[in-house]
Chain A
Amino acid sequence: MPVTGLAATLTEDARERDRALDALARDARVTVGPREGGRVALVLATDTADEDRDLLQTLRALPGVALVHVVFHDFSDVERFEGTPPKRWVND
């Protein structure tokens, strides 16, 4: 199970921040940790590496979240990541 530790920087807008934190708290895959100023510690626990990546993209696009940095990543299950290289886009 991919586990990723994040340090997220929240935006200045307090209402947007609160909405973002509420949304994160409702997602069972996300553990919301301590806050320091405008930053919050998060942990993602997902079933697959692809889900981990997609959730990370979702977090980056969430209103109220300015930046997301990954600070811990365990890849002892690296072999599970290896698969067929992605195909090119349409027409190829």
Chain B
Amino acid sequence: MLKGMAMAAAAAAIGRDASGQLAGTPPARRTDQTEWNKAPCRFCGTGCHVQVGVERGRVVAIQGDAEAPVNRGLLCVKGYHVGLALYGTDRLTRPMLRRGDRHEPISWDEAIDIIARRAHANPRGFALYLSGQSTIPEGFAGSKLIKGGLGHNHLEANARLCMASAVTGFIATYGVDEPAGCYDDLDACDVLITWGNNPAEMHPVLFSRVMDRRSRGERIELIDIGTRRTRTTEFADRFLQFEPQTDLAIAMGIAHLLLRDETWDREFVERHCAFRAPQADEPTLLGEAIDFEEYRRRVAEYTPERVEELSGVPAEEIRHLARLFGDRDRRITSLWCMGMNQHTRGTAINDLVHGVHLLSGHFGRPGDAPTSLTGQPSACGTVREVGTLTHALPGGRRVDVDAHREQAEQLWNLPPGRIDSTIGYHTIEMFRRFSTPTDAGGDIDTVWVQVTNPGHTLPNVDELFTPARELEDKFLIVSDVYPTETTRAADLILPSAMWVEKNGVFGNSERRTQQWFKMVDPPGDARDDTWQLIAVAHRLDELGHEGMRDRDGRFLFHTEDEGGAEVPIWEWDRYYDVNVDRRLFEEYRGFTRLKHKNLAPYEEYVAARGLRWPVVETDDGAWQETRYRFVEGEDPFVQEGEAIDFYHSTTHDGRAQIWFHPYEPPPEVPDDDYPFWLCTGRVLEHWHSGTMTMRIPPLRRAMPQAYLEMSRDDAQRLRIADGETVVLETRRGRLEIPVWIDGRGRPPAGSLFVPFFDERLLINRLTLEEYDPFSKQPDYKKCAARVRKRGEDG
């Protein structure tokens, strides 16, 4: 019977039923007792939907959801194991307080009281660090607690480390965050360019949309631009290997040729674009206006030969790229993720790739799109849209804009002036201050971490994270599901519910908002993160913190049942008397219209496999999603006759900005002492810090530990054997790690790669903390390193 179900699912995924007929089959039934329900996958930002099979309170099967437009029934190796992520043998099940060098169980009441008293004693020293894995209601509750309650802005999220440069790139170019295109572009493009991106391993379900077209005989040219080969390179028609950081020169080289050869799209640019460059002094995201001739003059330096000299990419390859962009008959989609974002010039390279698409008119038609992907399931929905960053308020608002604060105070029914106008500390600065003695300016004394693992993922972690653990007045609170590098360092550990153990809403990389319901109970005494935030808010109220009440004297998270009676949702046994997610989502909806990121009512998402915003109500009462923003006939906010309207333009004239940014070398480059480039990243089998995937036996066995990927030439020169443990060093730290000669990526000579999932081989003890000046996102992709055999002098 299981084989029949498996075949039915496989056949449905390829568009047939198990007998070979065109499919329309519902999810297979495992047994009569199996209940199936939909949920987005817990892992990456693709947003695949799964069908979750539950028997007797336990998840027992996972099936790709054939009705989901994102994945059409397919899953990657992580996705089909996602159910097992719930059942590692060492789930956290009780609140634990550090006493001496041990963590000892305490009650939830004690834990909540400890947190509330820390926040009450020094509100401005209390920071909340959330995640791109936090749900939309969790992020919204966190923002309301910190910004609307405690009245300061020390709220950050780990997405600062993964996509902040994409945000600043979108804002600098279009005046508003997030992609205009969507995954449908992958079904329509003639050319796919991956910029430092490896979708074959990191977003495999999306990549398969293109590969499936090829298998049907369609011609799609794939150009992989990267510093090392990846699985994606194996499918590429051309691989352009460039020196780290010189992607800026490549983009400028394309722009130069488009202008020189008069193949740029004059009509599109003259009607819809303007030109911009960073100010000489104190550059900002707004930059300064330059005219077309000044732009042409500046890019003229980037001849193909000059780009080849800088980047190592043959001039002919630059000419080929320019010819493709100069051909309006072909549709070009660019994809990028961490390669362009974890970059000390991350904002600049994001601006430049958008600029190449705009200059050539490859924008706004299906298949013509510059699209950033995200690595976390709700980096877009929670961090970017709700705004769980220090400068942000929900719905694209900023704390330093008077009107935005006033709107937020109105929507939250707060007394005027409650929200602070001062931007707080970004992630690197927040942890730097946490790790600095209080009398030396370390004014953050408490950090509450939810759904993330900064003790593993911060760069230069021995400098930014570890020192706080030696400071007696600093206090680290961690809500998580498994022991991690961060929980081990924590003063207080809170056991959390995860994924289908709670209700949730995520927002994926293509603006798709996705809802799911709780299906099983969390283990032991684990509880929802949203409940934890609300319980602390209520305890603060009991302690007399004035910020926990609105302008009418009601509790910040006041919730009523259908009869109008208040439900004490801060009491765990009453929390599920109402759907708190629905109540918070509906409150959040009110924030989403300012930036035209309109959401539908919660119930619409219950019925759908996600909807792409803006979602607007049509005349017949239906809710209509949007595939392409800024495009007439697709985006409901573009007026008839406009064709394209960048209606959040930074210049308030409907125009997008085409930026000039010069190439500049990275802050640390290989030299005689540290002669290698070191790059870090993910592998197919593991997701981020491995907290979940290292507890899934098949994935752990498939990739049991981290390794140092090194070229055969370098290994021979250094007399290093495959599998030999060597010493890897940077100016920040050292690590003993086994070598995998050539590895999966066959790195070029002089280049190294280490995946970051393995807490036993913590590569972030070595990485660089320098960050992009606009996005404040650090660069995990390049620093200088050296390798030596164990026992040889350092």
Q: Does B89 contact A (CB under 8 A)?
A: yes
Residues A89 and B14 in contact, CB atoms below 8 Å apart: no
Residues B60 and A39 in contact, CB atoms below 8 Å apart: no
Tell which of B63, B217, B707 touches A71, judged by Cβ atoms closer than 8 Å: B63
How far is it, in angstroms, between the C-alpha of A41 and the C-alpha of B724 when the chains are bound? 41
How far is it, in angstroms, between the C-alpha of A75 and the C-alpha of B84 when the chains are bound? 8
Residues A49 and B80 in contact, CB atoms below 8 Å apart: no
Residues A89 and B723 in contact, CB atoms below 8 Å apart: yes
Chain B residues in 8 Å Cβ range of A33: 7, 10-11, 16, 18, 20
Q: Does B651 contact A (CB under 8 A)?
A: no
Q: Chain B: which residue is nearest A90 at the CB level?
A: B723
Chain A residues in 8 Å Cβ range of B755: none
Chain A residues in 8 Å Cβ range of B18: 33-34, 41
Chain A residues in 8 Å Cβ range of B701: 50, 53, 86
How far is it, in angstroms, between the C-alpha of A71 and the C-alpha of B236 when the chains are bound? 25
Residues B80 and A70 in contact, CB atoms below 8 Å apart: yes
Residues B64 and A71 in contact, CB atoms below 8 Å apart: yes
Q: Chain A: which residue is nearest B88 at the CB level?
A: A82
Chain A residues in 8 Å Cβ range of B725: 89-92
Residues A41 and B215 in contact, CB atoms below 8 Å apart: no
How far is it, in angstroms, between the C-alpha of A37 and the C-alpha of B63 when the chains are bound? 22
Residues A36 and B16 in contact, CB atoms below 8 Å apart: yes
Chain B residues in 8 Å Cβ range of A15: none
Residues B16 and A76 in contact, CB atoms below 8 Å apart: no
Tell which of B3, B76, B215 touches A11, judged by Cβ atoms closer than 8 Å: B215
Residues A69 and B204 in contact, CB atoms below 8 Å apart: yes
Chain A residues in 8 Å Cβ range of B80: 4, 70-73
Tell which of A3, A56, A73 touches B3, judged by Cβ atoms closer than 8 Å: A3
Give the residue among A11, A34, A83, A90 with the most B Cβ atoms within 10 A: A34
Residues B74 and A76 in contact, CB atoms below 8 Å apart: no
Residues A72 and B724 in contact, CB atoms below 8 Å apart: no
What distance in Å separates the Cβ of A63 from its nearest Cβ neighbour in chain B? Answer: 13
Chain B residues in 8 Å Cβ range of A67: 204, 207-208, 211-212
Q: Does B73 contact A (CB under 8 A)?
A: yes
What distance in Å separates the Cβ of B40 from its nearest Cβ neighbour in chain A? Answer: 16
What distance in Å separates the Cβ of B47 from its nearest Cβ neighbour in chain A? Answer: 16
What distance in Å separates the Cβ of B358 from its nearest Cβ neighbour in chain A? Answer: 32
What distance in Å separates the Cβ of B662 from its nearest Cβ neighbour in chain A? Answer: 40
Q: Which of A38-70 contact B (CB under 8 A)?
A: 38-43, 45, 49-50, 52-53, 56-57, 66-67, 69-70
Residues A75 and B61 in contact, CB atoms below 8 Å apart: yes
Residues B705 and A73 in contact, CB atoms below 8 Å apart: no
Chain A residues in 8 Å Cβ range of B10: 5-7, 33, 41-43, 71-72
Residues B87 and A78 in contact, CB atoms below 8 Å apart: yes
Chain B residues in 8 Å Cβ range of A50: 701
How far is it, in angstroms, between the C-alpha of A44 and the C-alpha of B542 when the chains are bound? 58
How far is it, in angstroms, between the C-alpha of A84 and the C-alpha of B461 when the chains are bound? 29
Chain A residues in 8 Å Cβ range of B14: 7, 34-37, 39-41
How far is it, in angstroms, between the C-alpha of A1 and the C-alpha of B3 when the chains are bound? 10
- Given A3-B6, A7-B10, are A71 and B73 also a contact pair (CB < 8 Å)? yes
What distance in Å separates the Cβ of B693 from its nearest Cβ neighbour in chain A? Answer: 13
Residues A90 and B724 in contact, CB atoms below 8 Å apart: yes
Using an 8 Å CB-CB cutoff, how does the interface string of B41-82 with A read, 1 for contact, 0 for none? 000000000000001000011111000000001111101110
Residues A69 and B76 in contact, CB atoms below 8 Å apart: yes
Residues A85 and B700 in contact, CB atoms below 8 Å apart: yes
Chain A residues in 8 Å Cβ range of B3: 3, 31, 43, 45
What distance in Å separates the Cβ of A11 from its nearest Cβ neighbour in chain B? Answer: 7
What distance in Å separates the Cβ of A31 from its nearest Cβ neighbour in chain B? Answer: 7
Q: Does B524 contact A (CB under 8 A)?
A: no
- Given A69-B76, A91-B738, A92-B738, are A37 and B215 also a contact pair (CB < 8 Å)? yes
Residues A78 and B13 in contact, CB atoms below 8 Å apart: no
Using an 8 Å CB-CB cutoff, how does the interface string of B166-209 with A read, 1 for contact, 0 for none? 00000000000000000000000000000000000000110110
What distance in Å separates the Cβ of B646 from its nearest Cβ neighbour in chain A? Answer: 36
What distance in Å separates the Cβ of B181 from its nearest Cβ neighbour in chain A? Answer: 23
Using an 8 Å CB-CB cutoff, how does the interface string of B1-45 with A read, 1 for contact, 0 for none? 011011111111111111110000000101000000000000000
How far is it, in angstroms, between the C-alpha of A67 and the C-alpha of B77 when the chains are bound? 12
Give the residue among A34, A69, A75 with the most B Cβ atoms within 10 A: A69
How far is it, in angstroms, between the C-alpha of A45 and the C-alpha of B28 when the chains are bound? 17
How far is it, in angstroms, between the C-alpha of A6 and the C-alpha of B28 when the chains are bound? 14
How far is it, in angstroms, between the C-alpha of A66 and the C-alpha of B204 when the chains are bound? 12
Q: Does A12 contact B (CB under 8 A)?
A: yes
Chain B residues in 8 Å Cβ range of A69: 13, 64, 74-76, 204-205, 208
- Given A5-B9, A7-B10, A31-B3, are A90 and B62 also a contact pair (CB < 8 Å)? no
Chain B residues in 8 Å Cβ range of A26: none
Using an 8 Å CB-CB cutoff, how does the interface string of B699-735 with A read, 1 for contact, 0 for none? 0111011010000000000000001110000000000
What distance in Å separates the Cβ of B145 from its nearest Cβ neighbour in chain A? Answer: 37
Residues B215 and A71 in contact, CB atoms below 8 Å apart: no
Residues A36 and B15 in contact, CB atoms below 8 Å apart: yes
Chain A residues in 8 Å Cβ range of B723: 89-91
Tell which of A9, A52, A86, A89 touches B215, judged by Cβ atoms closer than 8 Å: A9
Q: Does B214 contact A (CB under 8 A)?
A: yes
Chain B residues in 8 Å Cβ range of A42: 10
Q: Does B83 contact A (CB under 8 A)?
A: yes
What distance in Å separates the Cβ of B15 from its nearest Cβ neighbour in chain A? Answer: 5
What distance in Å separates the Cβ of B505 from its nearest Cβ neighbour in chain A? Answer: 25
Q: Does B216 contact A (CB under 8 A)?
A: yes
Q: Does A74 contact B (CB under 8 A)?
A: yes
Residues A74 and B13 in contact, CB atoms below 8 Å apart: no
Residues of A within 8 A of B (CB): 1, 3-7, 9-12, 31, 33-43, 45, 49-50, 52-53, 56-57, 66-67, 69-76, 78, 81-83, 85-92
Q: Can you give 8 A-B contacts (C-beta < 8 A)?
A: A7-B10, A42-B10, A43-B7, A69-B64, A69-B208, A72-B62, A75-B83, A81-B698
Q: Which 8 A-B pairs have the closest CB atoms?
A: A38-B215, A5-B6, A41-B10, A72-B9, A86-B704, A5-B10, A34-B20, A7-B13
Residues of B within 8 A of A (CB): 2-3, 5-20, 28, 30, 55, 60-64, 73-77, 79-81, 83-84, 87, 89, 204-205, 207-208, 211-212, 214-217, 235, 697-698, 700-702, 704-705, 707, 723-725, 738, 760
New A-B contacts (14) at CB < 8 Å, excluding given A7-B74, A69-B208, A71-B10: A5-B5, A7-B10, A7-B13, A34-B14, A34-B17, A45-B3, A56-B77, A67-B208, A69-B205, A72-B28, A73-B83, A74-B5, A78-B84, A89-B705
